[in-house]
Structure 1
């Protein structure tokens, strides 16, 4: 049986492949002349010029600075066009829902996060709220003249990516949630433009593309949320596993005190290092940091302030969690042998107190000493939603011909920073 790469391609299909080749080169290698594009893609100069012209027409690329060549006349660089084409990232987590919009250059054009109790609201209400967030973002983008390529939803759980179904998200109390189908019925987007993926996978993609580990070909991303997940990049590609469920690292049985996990089992790693474990350890019920109606980052800043002032309970809790984090991470590093472990979510925001105990455990337990560095994400709680927007844009990089050619205004109103 022939694979997809062996199937015959007609002239239209061949042009789509070549458009994709050029656009991907601009994404991976940055602005470059047509001559350099031709060399890197293996296409002749005339074909490359024709493809660049079409990418310009579809508002995917533009001509940039003129640079002097080593030999001959100066050349004009070709670069990705900002703002005109964008992707929407959405996220559902235990304490919030979020949306972010990125353009082809990974610039954030719109971002909003809403605190809420997802478990209490229930599946249908949460997905409907997420649809409202997405619809608002899409409306703003279209009003500014941007074309929206698609939307990708990040969810902490087991996701059937092909069908857009969340099979099991224990901390959300969701089973067999048809997220993509319900969103498609609420949004003015083609059904095939809407997808769903695991939050750690999308976070890993974001870190690999634009985060602190950008360009690192082998990395492990660890989410610091109520659930603890892992996203694995190996040789520059996301690892999904045989059934697409790679990265459920929070359910490794590592807790010597067999606390009950959201998955129903006992002793899972996330019962030691997950967000719920942190909040229980640093504060009693009724404390402001345990009030889920308040924004999570604001509550974490309160914890950080207490640690900075030397509060004994907070410092002790963070040291213990940091050590437990390092023990679990050391097992994963010994198995996966990544170049970098990226700590995300609350692990990054409280990294000043978590990172050193975690590094000590890694140094003592990892066999290949010095082969892996532990770093703190600079994307914080935006990693998954930005990864979703980045993934939504992959539709365009896979087939640039889906982008429209009509000319519309591209000025974007001032939208403020990330919420």
Structure 2
């Protein structure tokens, strides 16, 4: 094959990016968005078909006019493996270039020891590598903790200290892209979910503790070291309480199952997420009062973040959705009362996330697709065909 020149695959990259972010997009729509002539769009899609990146299928009929085609991932093209690590389980999905999940797996942790969990993820990577061979180009991992340069700096909800996550792919040599689960969930909402089209979006997810991200023009604000978005460790809570992260008064401690147990004067739960789900199913007054207190803390904190960031929209994922629904009035009162006066006339809407419960996995897939659709990745793949 002719050596690849710098910039040779730029338009192809633009096309693939739209295919990955807009499943089912037609060739005509791609041409319109990229301002390509019909002949140019035909030429670039033909090149992508020749190197097994795209295939085309007839689009659904829309009446009269020249028929167009839907762009889809080539059945023999590159794929990514997305991994979603949670407190009690992990999930995986093989992701094609058009964002479709080719297959999904889900497993409960038999042990929460870091060595055991990472070994199981490593085995899943190796299984996918045996099945897909050179087609598997990248692994993307969403993890519930602070991530910096593929290292898990701390994960208080798992009680893990600093770990090198690249052990997951070490035996295969496949590149790893690791990110915080809440951040990646926010990326998914900004790309194809409830915050799609928003210039500035704040995403928050409650599971065990709270995480989130500020998305500006589709890109998360990562901070100086990549650890931005640790909203659960903002000191919105009781300053007499110590958090497993090492700080005092973290918001985390006021908005999940641990807070519900404290309000109900019950023992701290081993699984705060499952405990919160159980409390939400209860109909007694004590449970309702506990939920209202937690929801008030949630609404007040969100107002504080809105005052700080001025987003167009706020999206909520995880337990934040059923918690809010269980005490809607408490949430609205706390949210509005916490806003600065000028925000109250038109407060940013607070919407439920679209990608439930797949937000972190969808975000990990988005991160991987950004890698697969980059010009260097396309050039490397094309040179191997």
Q: Given the two structures, how large is their TM-score scaled by the length of structure 1?
A: 0.78
Deviation, 1:331, is: 0.8
Contact 2:256–2:273 (8 Å) recurs in 1:
no
> Is 1:86 matched with 2:44?
no
Name the counterpart of 1:133: 124
Q: Closer, same or farther in 2 for the Cα pair 1:44/1:214, shift >3 Å?
A: closer
Contact 1:87–1:149 (8 Å) recurs in 2:
yes
Write the mapping of 1:15-414 to structure 2, written as runs, cut at 5 A: 15-28=8-21, 31-33=25-27, 37-38=30-31, 40-43=33-36, 45-65=38-58, 74-81=66-73, 85-116=78-109, 121-137=112-128, 142=132, 147-161=135-149, 164-180=150-166, 182-186=167-171, 188=172, 190-191=173-174, 193-256=175-238, 258-281=240-263, 284-285=266-267, 290=269, 292=271, 301-306=277-282, 310-367=283-340, 368-369=343-344, 370-399=346-375, 400-403=378-381
Q: Closer, same or farther in 2 for the Cα pair 1:66/1:221, shift >3 Å?
A: closer
Q: Closer, same or farther in 2 for the Cα pair 1:59/1:351, shift >3 Å?
A: farther
Which whole-Å CA distance do the structure 2 matches of 1:103 and 1:303 have between them? 39
Contact 1:92–1:155 (8 Å) recurs in 2:
yes
Which whole-Å CA distance do the structure 1 matches of 2:129 and 2:327 have between them? 38
Q: Closer, same or farther in 2 for the Cα pair 1:83/1:251, shift >3 Å?
A: farther
Contact 1:224–1:275 (8 Å) recurs in 2:
no
Deviation, 1:320, is: 0.6
Q: Deviations over 1:190-211 (max 9, x none)?
A: 44x2111111211111112233
Contact 2:206–2:319 (8 Å) recurs in 1:
yes
Deviation, 1:222, is: 0.9
Q: Deviations over 1:311-366 (max 9, x none)?
A: 22221111111100011111111111112211112212444215542232222222
Q: Closer, same or farther in 2 for the Cα pair 1:316/1:86, shift >3 Å?
A: farther
Q: Closer, same or farther in 2 for the Cα pair 1:90/1:262, shift >3 Å?
A: same
Question: What SS does the corresponding residue of 1:149 show, helix, strand or coil?
Answer: strand
Question: What SS does the corresponding residue of 2:209 show, helix, strand or coil?
Answer: coil
Deviation, 1:67, is: 8.2
Deviation, 1:126, is: 1.8
Deviation, 1:79, is: 1.6
Deviation, 1:68, is: 8.8
Contact 1:220–1:232 (8 Å) recurs in 2:
yes
Contact 1:89–1:385 (8 Å) recurs in 2:
yes
Contact 1:61–1:78 (8 Å) recurs in 2:
no
Contact 2:144–2:180 (8 Å) recurs in 1:
yes
Which whole-Å CA distance do the structure 2 matches of 1:82 and 1:351 have between them? 42
Deviation, 1:37, is: 3.9
Deviation, 1:87, is: 2.5
Deviation, 1:32, is: 3.2
Q: Closer, same or farther in 2 for the Cα pair 1:11/1:96, shift >3 Å?
A: closer
Contact 1:101–1:111 (8 Å) recurs in 2:
yes
Q: Deviations over 1:119-157 (max 9, x none)?
A: xx4322221122223444555x63xx9933321111222
Question: What SS does the corresponding residue of 1:334 show, helix, strand or coil?
Answer: helix
Q: Given the two structures, how large is their TM-score scaled by the length of structure 2?
A: 0.84
Q: Closer, same or farther in 2 for the Cα pair 1:67/1:195, shift >3 Å?
A: closer
Contact 2:260–2:276 (8 Å) recurs in 1:
no
Q: Closer, same or farther in 2 for the Cα pair 1:275/1:99, shift >3 Å?
A: farther
Question: What SS does the corresponding residue of 1:109 show, helix, strand or coil?
Answer: strand
Which whole-Å CA distance do the structure 1 matches of 2:53 and 2:260 have between them? 44
Alpha-carbon RMSD: 3.3
Deviation, 1:242, is: 2.3
**Structure 2: stretches of 5+ with no match in the other structure:** none
Which whole-Å CA distance do the structure 1 matches of 2:194 and 2:371 have between them? 25
Deviation, 1:13, is: 2.1
Question: What SS does the corresponding residue of 1:231 show, helix, strand or coil?
Answer: strand
Contact 2:208–2:273 (8 Å) recurs in 1:
no
Which whole-Å CA distance do the structure 1 matches of 2:241 and 2:74 have between them? 49
